[in-house]
Structure 1
Amino acid sequence: MKISTGEKAFYKINNIVLFIISLSCLLPLIYIIATSFSSGAAIESGKVFLWPVDFTPAAYKVLIVSTDLFKYFKNSIVVTVVGTALSMIFTILCAYPLSKRKLFARRKVTFLIVFTMLFSGGLIPTYLLVKSLGLMNSYWSIWLTTLISPYNMLIMKSFFENISEELEEAARIDGCSEWRILLQMYLPLSKAVIATLCLFYGVAYWNSFLKVLMYISDSKGYTLPVLIQQMVFQLEQIKLGTNSDIGAISGSGDVISESVKSAGVVVLILPMLAVYPFLQKYFVKGVMLGSVKG
């Protein structure tokens, strides 16, 4: 089909706008990475923009030596992996029966779940509930309070509803139970949406900050976001004592608090950046599947 002049102009303008939006998202990330690898003198003089000046990894050395970075990193991995697995299991178990049109009170239950997207119990009641259940200083306080995302559940439910009923009827004729239909028919057909929701849950758990700060009082259980927050707060209040204190750790006197904070941010976002390319091909497909009927 021939594209009109107006359509060509629209596509060009659209591409330009999208390119500008992409740059607005990408440039801050590039700047943070460049700052983390630049010398203190270059940062203070404003020479750093999109490329490290006087390249040095000293800020990362300060971050590793002055904090128990690997312990916090391990805690974040535990929270993310276990939390994502639990959330996916219960999201699937919730979405599957609600996708069945014959389920009793299906619409009422769905409404109650959607209702929680608009109104919640509140921060203080949730905290008191977690405390009364004895979940303080336990990762279960994080996993149970964010176990199912209503939005993610609705995506999964919508996808299940679009799976052909004829396939399910054929499976029942062959004697398949509900569990077998779910595990051997629905889940293999749902790889794209499962990968997408794993990414959603994974990012949410990896960036968990407020819940860890509220429910985990033992510093041994802190995750990377809390470590970065504490480090930033400390550097803002006392600037790690003096720049010479930072230099004593890094072996270089040309490291400032700004580069150390940037290094912490890079360490925090690097795992998600590494995982995303492997799930990107499922991302758009997984979200859009189930959004169109028929």
Structure 2
Amino acid sequence: MARHTTGGTPACLGDLRALSFVLEALDEGTDAWRAVQVAGHLGGAAGDLTPRLSKLLAEVDFADPSQSMSANALVSALRELGDPAAAPALTGAVVAAVREEQWHSAASALNALASFGPGSAFAPEVVRPLADAEDLHVRAAATEALWELESDAADVVPRLVDLLDTHRQQEAAEILGRIGQDAARALPRLRKMLTAGYEWTRVCAAAALWDIGGDAEARAVVETLLAAWAENDATSNHVLACLSRMGPAARPALPRVREELTLLRRSGRYHSISHDEELQAACRAITARL
């Protein structure tokens, strides 16, 4: 009964009453995979869970491709817990995954390290060489980690601008947007991306343009976001997130935002309940402000 409970609703809702069952499953190894799947939801128990998950991650044999799913689940759970104490285990996972050319697992572990920010300050020695990796997934993840760990725009921005000419361009644009005004050298390339054939590329470029260039880019940003939204409703959550950040500059989009609130169907990415509710909340917030 206890082990079966690890995969149930209480743990997924962050209910710490499920903790004893999760710990039992991790310690005994029976149904541990169920416990790993829900452990990330129990952030209030990171002190108990992080050492156990870190130990399991250290035991993964990255030479065995069949273990990649387990590795990625452990990395995901540690990232969700957000405990910087997991950084040594994640760094070890990066090294092991790279050694065995398990690029997806290496990138996932790098993304988790990046989420901890400067608390993982010892990690750049491992991360920096990977910012020049041949695998673009790893290179993008390592570059993001360098930014989060060191906040050195002069080092990171040129790397990200180069990535704008690869299939990791959307990821690069998102990171450039987080950097903000210090990424101004990326503006010309991002403007060119507004004419891309893929609407998701245009949305990512427009959002980055706003976050970097501000009011000077507002007209092109709003036009691009509205066009992408009309073309593909799945972009709506990302579009509304950017419009929310724009404040008064988003006023030209207000008629479309109001229209969204009148629709009787679900919208948002995947038309899921959570994304629709997120979309509706953003629309209401924007209309209230404007």
Return the TM-score normalized by structure 2.
0.24
Of the two structures, which has the highest relative contact order with CA contacts closer than 8 Å and spacing of 6 or more?
1
Q: Compare CA radii of gyration and give the structure with the larger one.
A: 1
Return the TM-score normalized by structure 1.
0.24
More helix per residue: 1 or 2? 2
